[in-house]
Amino acid sequence: MVHAPNRPPAGAPPVRINLYSDTQTRPTPAMKAAMMEAEVGDEQHGDDPTVHALCDRMAALMGKEAAMYLPSGTMCNVIAILTHCKKGDEVLAHETSHILHSEGGTHAALTGVQIMPLKGARGLFTADDVRAGIRPKTRYAPPQRMLEVEQTANIGGGVVWPLEQLTAVTDVAREQGWATHMDGARLMNACVAAGVAPKDMVAGFDSVWLDFTKGLGAPLGAVLCGSSEFIGEAWRWKQRLGGSMRQAGICAAACLYALDHHVDRLAEDHANAKALARGLAQIEGVVVEEPDTNLVFFDIKGTGVAVEELQRRLALQGIMVSGLGGRVRACTHLDVTAAMIPEAVSAIRDALHA
């Protein structure tokens, strides 16, 4: 079986409205200029000043002691679990979490942990759900070592975990002596939407990472934060997994630019998502989930059109959406303007009722 991604079909029109994912963002001209001007060194050797500037800034932003620059958020999750856990340990996470659904079975293949899926509406679980997952400490049960939370909850609909609920679930984890880890792929979306400072949002977590390649618009990279001891141990896994880099300051400069210029503007993406949801809700046969942030999920079963067919029809018009769990997902981001929203709604309406 070939696992390489498909290239765009020959003759396909250029994409003009890309609602597929915020991973589709491209660096702005000003971000590219910052990258070209970056002072660089050998990141693996510890002498890239721009990477150090990014890591120091991220540690301070998250209220942690240290940070580490990595190529991807998935590598952040893998390294965090490898650092917190041993083979045969158990991690508790939501049943729709990224570590279960979107990391290619990495944790079975590489980390040797098993993941207990917790249920809960819209990608969230409660303190009682965590307590219900506690196993007796016997030789028959796997040692439970870590609780994982995804902020925002992607498959849940881009839902923001309320700060009080985060505190409640991490309190249970601490009572059990577990480590706590946040998958912060869209953490800044959550902070902007909730009006909560990042360090307050992640205060209950031993480790957390932020992805710069989604709404923040950088071409590469995520930063994993935690205690100095945790990051020191994590560096061994970074080396083992090939995550150590060379002149990475070129890409770290894009991340620093994003922190300066692309955080507050995430509110525009959220406003565009709400406008998109309002428009889609007016289409006969479409059921829309009200978005918290920049992800709009909608069910089109009532139209009689399959998700894949809608994607095909829209692609012929240069419009991209994604399918996830039997629903359509439309994602607003840096490259989706307010003016594109009514055009996208009109195209989706026409495609569903062609």
pLDDT in tens, 58-99: 999 999 999 999 999 999 999 999 999 999 999 999 999 999
Residue 196's SS3 state is: coil
The β-bridge relationship of strands 90-94 and 114-118 is parallel
**Number of neighbouring beta carbons within 10 Å of residue 302:** 12
Between CA 325 and CA 308 the distance in angstroms is 12
- Prior bond to 138 cis, omega within 30? no
pLDDT at 189: 98
State what percent of residues in the chain have pLDDT above 70.
100
pLDDT at 280: 98
φ, ψ dihedrals at 190, nearest 5°: -65, -45
- Prior bond to 332 cis, omega within 30? no
pLDDT at 284: 96
pLDDT at 40: 98
pLDDT at 3: 87
Which of the 8 DSSP states describes residue 5?
Answer: P
**Helix or strand (DSSP H, E) at 17:** strand 17-18
Cα Rg, the chain, nearest whole Å: 21
- Model confidence at 8: pLDDT above 90: no
φ, ψ dihedrals at 150, nearest 5°: -110, 120
Query: What is the rounded average pLDDT for all residues in the chain?
Result: 97
Between CA 261 and CA 56 the distance in angstroms is 18
Structure tokens at 53: 């500037």
